[in-house]
Chains A and B, each alone.
Chain A
């Protein structure tokens, strides 16, 4: 049936099916629905989307921020030694912003967009999660708290974050920078690479040794004299 419907219709239809299925099948699934829900269809999954529930520290929904996040191998090409990446590594939003995310997967494989550390009373396990089973697009929104904080954004497939699919969402400028974000922050555990020892670097070393030796000697001699 879904084949003959247009894309938005198809999505709504599948969401309905998902809702019906989850309601009828198990308590666990029902619990998921109670918590704001998990929507699934053949293109992917949306977990804990939130367009209207206000975090406790917000008076009202703040600015609507539209963000498009692309994922794929090609976004890693600009970073050395990475294999997967998002097209951006950092987003900054004002407190209580409603972020309307368009998540686009340009690879033929599965990718995820997970945001961690959100308040658990709106987002079960503190998590907002978009997942695309392959090439495709998903739209979903979330509302961030007012607190000045940095949230981890990543793909949780094994080794995807480690190989570059890591970014940060900063509310009100964020509180910290997360490590090992491609092109942005240093890794905690860095690889070692052979050093490019050139004559000029050796010359720098030699001059420094000479300077470190002669300047104090010169000063001492002056004092002694």
Chain B
């Protein structure tokens, strides 16, 4: 073969390659007349990933009741607070029967109430003990999370909380990895009375150092013994150690407490809660702990004078990257490094948005505000998110009565429907349910949520985040769940929905219109041409080699 024919053959091969390139099959392909049909990811009737909206475990906890002489308001929610915990929080574990203590979850020294210093009928020396609890942490015993706590169906980010000192198992039972219900996010609201001598002991049950900083609460810089009383970064309480902060607050209001070690990370991990100082009143037994925040089932004397109900609303957010630092390693050195030096909060995002420790739809189980018409309800709203919140109530305009624990004079109180609250700020809000076209537009199931647009999503999936309902009583079913929501419940009480595997509106007639798109069948004609061309190119190369070899043979 001549040089010229080699050149021609090479040229032919190049042309063939160029032609074949036009027919290259790929992983995706343009549709012809009809795009692929809708596919369903789940076998019809498979409910293994779907949860019951309300398991209705303790219907007897809902009604108004008196335990140990403590009046406990009704809480018609699906998951009401344990009334025995409320009774123990009001009386102190030292003033209740063993039977009540056993029904509550407190340790025998969690809340001790002592002398009535001002002789007005309520105890004024209070000893509070807090532990640090980790949820959804790692285990060397297997590829699973321990003390699991779901913020939404199937969502288990690493979380830390301050928890009242408890006794017994931290999981539901020996065979379970699920945290017992008493142990939950957020860190509980703590309530004391103005002038009380309060001893707050942090018993650090965690594997990293922590402190308690009483943000906005009247406290001396040092304890009488000359030790740290501000919970500062330079005085960490190390694992296995305890430290007692002492206060006798003179000023009343809604304040905070939070860990001040590696503050940015530890607060975002969940180590912060609401701290309320109630006005000093005679016979004022305040509910020391409001586990899970939400409704205060035993409001203080001062609050009851002006309001029919009281709610603590704590907003917090989670960065899934930060939360995963306690899940990707077991060694505390690795965790400390990963959280403290590898993770960079200045390059972070918020992915999960919680109100009272839950994201929608779990917020509907234990955190709705349940009202009747013509009520005046006190809300204490605190923002412990990294970012600002803009809390919006549908159908209502409420009035701020205090900011950061300082009462506003009548002229400075603002009635509005979006409340912007910067990080660590608190507002006290009077929510009036009088149907007058201003305070309330009508009864109903009114949504309330952070109107910053990320706030109603769970890792970007809507509806989620801190979405919650202001529910008028007639709109709740016998389990305390909102009516008119059945179709939505089928969609959102689904682990696959928040795992981003299920499209929305699949319970409606529009299921096919918004379902997932199936695969497209490959274009066989193009495939055959491509295959033949490639085969031919290979054949040409082999032929050239064969001819070359033949020529060289003698």
Contacts and interface: CB of A to CB of B under 8 A. Distances in A.
Interface string A171-199: 00000000000011111001111111100
Given A193-B28, A205-B527, A183 B34 contact: yes
A80 interface: yes
B532 A192 contact: no
A214 B539 CA distance: 7
Nearest to B514: A83
Interface residues of B, number: 39
A184 B539 contact: no
A201 interface: yes
A190 B522 contact: no
Nearest to A73: B513
Interface stretch (B35-43, B135-143, B391-399): B35-43
A207 B532 CA distance: 9
B33 A77 contact: no
A213 B517 contact: no
A185 B33 contact: yes
Contacts of A212: 531-539
A217 interface: yes
Given A208-B528, A220-B543, A193 B35 contact: yes
Contacts of B30: 190-193
A31 interface: no
Nearest to B541: A213
Contact of B542 (A73, A187, A196, A217): A217
Contacts of A191: 30-31, 35
A183 B31 CA distance: 12
Given A80-B37, A190-B31, A211 B522 contact: no
B435 interface: no
A173 to B, nearest CB: 20
A55 B25 CA distance: 51
Nearest to B517: A193
B487 to A, nearest CB: 18
Given A208-B527, A208-B528, A208-B530, A193 B34 contact: no
Interface string A52-95: 00000000000000000000010011011101000000000000
Interface of B: 25-38, 512-513, 517-522, 524, 527-528, 530-540, 542-543, 546
A195 B35 CA distance: 12
B38 A194 contact: no
A63 B36 CA distance: 40
Nearest to B542: A217
Contact of A213 (B29, B32, B539): B539
B530 A201 contact: no
30 contacts: A79-B34, A80-B38, A184-B33, A190-B30, A191-B30, A191-B31, A191-B35, A192-B31, A193-B519, A195-B28, A195-B520, A195-B521, A195-B522, A196-B518, A205-B25, A207-B531, A212-B532, A212-B537, A212-B538, A212-B539, A213-B535, A213-B536, A213-B542, A215-B539, A216-B536, A216-B539, A216-B540, A217-B539, A220-B539, A220-B546
Contacts of A204: 524, 527-528, 531
A121 interface: no
